[in-house]
Amino acid sequence: MLAEKNRRLGRLDDLRARGIEPYPYRFDRTHTLREVRSEWGSLEAGTETESHVEVAGRIMLLREQGKLIFATVRDRSDEIQLFISKAVVGDEAFADISTLDLGDWVGVSGTVMTTRKGELSVKVANLSLLSKAVRPLPNKWKGLTDTDTRFRQRYTDLIVNEEARRAFEVRHAVISSFRRTLAGKDFIEVETPVLHVEAGGAHARPFVTHHNSLDMQLYLRIALELHLKRLIVGGMERVYEIGRVFRNEGISTRHNPEFTMMELYQAFGDYSEVMAIAEELIVQAARDAIGTTVVDIADTEGNLHTVDLAEPWRRARMIDLVEEKTGVAVHPSQSVDQLRKVAEDNGVRYDKHWGPGKLIEEIFEATAESSLIRPTFVTGHPVEISPLARTDRNDPFLTERFELFVGARELANGYSELNDPVEQRARFMEEQAAKEAGDAERGTVDEDYLRALEFGLPPTGGLGIGMDRVAMLLAGVHSIKEVILFPTLRPEVF
RNA sequence: GCGCCUUUAGCUCAGUCGGUAGAGCAUCGGACUUUUAAUCCGCUGGUCGAGGGUUCGAGCCCCUCAGGGCGCACCA
């Protein structure tokens, strides 16, 4: 409302005219509000203390009552009530305080007390305005629910919606838990380039950009994989990166064009070892972020399932899950025609470029994926769709690969890393051939990566985890936008 | 890209059959020295997403466009 903003801007002028700076440089507090509550939270009703504190926060509620004003202020840690008496602060200061608005930041000094009803309060001796809010806060009962405004003006969302603040606290707790767990296993955190000459490590369309002085096209990374494995060649043995990756694809409740991946690589291990790490990371993150391993997970119909993440996770081969759902045994050694028939019988549309492996994956996604509510490692992806994964030691058509599904969403992906440079070159050539045949999402030959492999990549297990999706699972939210502070949106028209 | 839904005061929402705009909170004025979403009294606040059309008359019906949501497609 323009009138409301003008009214508050007018107050700025009034304050300055009287020598009061509405935007002072600093305020030194002695306690956070949580510290006040934990130190004096058990005072009996009607207690006055001599304990002097200086606290700061934003005014969330105001209750004027004649010669008393009650204000609820909030800092990051907690809320507390200010008790402001005209008899204590004097007529002039009381008049100033009564011109405060919801949303203003204040710093106060005073003593700790409880009211007759027992509400812990700071009895204000001195109050200073720390920053004047010139826009009004959203509705104090209903908060802010308009999703457009919540995501565009995340600052407003965070001011009024406690669940929004909580989701980002969960996200932070997940990431710091991962770092602690990995530090405990002697992993080193590294940073690799975001700007890539070739966008490899995944099948996805990249964002393209341009470097002016080199006059060259660059891609924003779609995965962390290939640089991290170069570091294993270099002998770093255990590395990980938590970083933003970019995929130039659709936006949905599960997809944002930029999102956060954690990828780790461990020398001398294989896929079963990194599977165990994935399980440990996520179970520990649940304990650290929400204090329990029991979560409610929605299926695709919206029904909630209570799941204890600490129970052992199911492992099942992709081809077995397909057989379970369709009643037909499938294998990438079968002919394209045979598998196209299975696809047709199950209402799966296919592309003429697809080989047996891709057909099996699509049939899996269409028939089995939505039923994977409890944590499930789907293993044994066909070689055709896994150009960087090592062939299964027992089946040359499959790889030692897994994807983790929870709540029908893919959370993680990992494998025994292909380290034979000759085979890797052949796989890259197949990718390139498929791309040239018209399959736009296939990869290209990364010569520098092949050179690295030629120096010797030890046996290695690799793992990638979608951090946003883990945060969604543990925060219990339905949309990825709830765990990304500033999700990608169309530009606002002002 | 496609389909469905949605957009009304700063916020949360109502708006009947097409008859000329409503509530709560916030704001503003008044009362109140222990409130708790304080309460009570009174007032203010609108380009009904934008543009066009039908009609004597449109928040409402029709068309186009824009934002958002959900689903689909895409996303190994």
Q: pLDDT tens, A252-295?
A: 999 999 999 999 999 999 999 999 999 999 999 999 999 999 99
Give the CA-to-C1' distance from A130 to B21 in angstroms.
Answer: 40
Q: How far apart are CA A391 and CA A420, in angstroms?
A: 11
What beta strand segments (E) does A21-78 contain? 48-65, 68-74
Nucleotide nearest to A139 (CA to C1'): B11
- CA pair distance A160, A60, nearest whole angstrom: 9
Sign of the torsion angle spanned by Cα atoms A159, A162, A164, A166? positive
Q: Is A31 helix (H, G, I), strand (E, B) or coil?
A: coil
CB A277 within 8 A of CB A185: yes
Distance A14 CA to B26 C1' (A): 22
Tell me the pLDDT tens digit for each residue of A224-236: 999 999 999 999 9
Nearest nucleotide to the CA of A4, by C1', is B27
Rounded, the Å distance between the CA of A419 and C1' of B7 is 55
- Between CA A2 and C1' B46 the distance (Å) reads 13
Return the nearest residue to B69, CA–C1'.
Answer: A147
Instruction: Let me know: does A362 contact A348? Beta carbons within 8 Å.
Output: yes
Per-residue model confidence (pLDDT) at position A441? 73
Distance A330 CA to B20 C1' (A): 69
Flag whether pLDDT at A126 surpasses 60.
yes
pLDDT interval class at A437 (50, 70, 90)? confident
Please tell me the number of Cα atoms within 13 Å of A45 on its side-chain side. 4
Q: Residues A98-107: what's their mean pLDDT?
A: 95
Q: What is the pLDDT of residue A461?
A: 97
> What is the token pair recorded at A107?
């710093």
Mean pLDDT (chain A) is 93
Nearest residue (CA) to C1' of B31? A66
- What pLDDT does A493 receive? 66
Residue A436: pLDDT band (50, 70, 90) is confident
Return positions of chain B under 7 A from a protein CB: 1, 9-13, 24-28, 31-39, 45, 66-76
Q: Model-level pTM?
A: 0.93
